[in-house]
Structures are given as structure tokens and as C-alpha cells.
Amino acid sequence: MDSNSRSIAKAVSYRLLGSLSTAVIVFLFSGNMKVSAGVGALDMITKLALYYFHERLWNHIPFGRAKQPPPQPDYEI
């Protein structure tokens, strides 16, 4: 299971790339840098939150996970 900080880092790095591509596409269609930057920023904030909660939800779903053997003790008798 990922830690909260790892999920946040993954969400931020993914959204930076995704929002940059969205801003470029909006700029290509509109030619307006201000609109492009605004859409990119809104896209990043919205989808970052959605990704984080999606990631945390999937940490509670066992589907597709390999079963791990029980931990072995660090000592012998």
C-alpha cells in the first residue's frame, strides 16, 4: 500500500504533465495565453484531487494484487 505522501507525489507529477498538455491544446485552439493558463491551472487542481482520491480508494480494493506470504519472524528458536 502506498503512503499518503507517495500518492500525493504521483498525483502532482502526473497532473503537471497532463495539465501542461491541456494548456498547450487550449492555446493551439484559442491563441490566448491567459485563457490557456487558466484552463491548465483549473485542470490541474480538479484532476489532482480526483486522482488522489481515486488512488486512495484503490488501495482498499484487493482486485489484481498478488497475495503476499505472512511475514517470517526475525529470529530462530
Split into its structural domains, the chain has a count of 1
Q: Which domain holds residue 41?
A: 4-58
Given this model, what pLDDT does residue 24 score?
95
Using CB atoms within 10 Å of the CB of residue 23, give its burial: 0 to 12 exposed, 13 to 18 middle, 19+ buried. buried
Cell numbers representing residue 7 in the block: 500518492
Cβ contacts of 10 within 8 Å, gap of 6 or more = 2, 51, 55
- For residue 37, being part of any structural domain is answered with yes
List pLDDT tens digits, range 38-53: 999 999 889 888 888 9
List pLDDT tens digits, range 9-46: 887 888 889 889 999 999 999 999 999 999 999 998 89
Longest C-alpha distance within the chain, in Å? Answer: 73
- For residue 36, being part of any structural domain is answered with yes
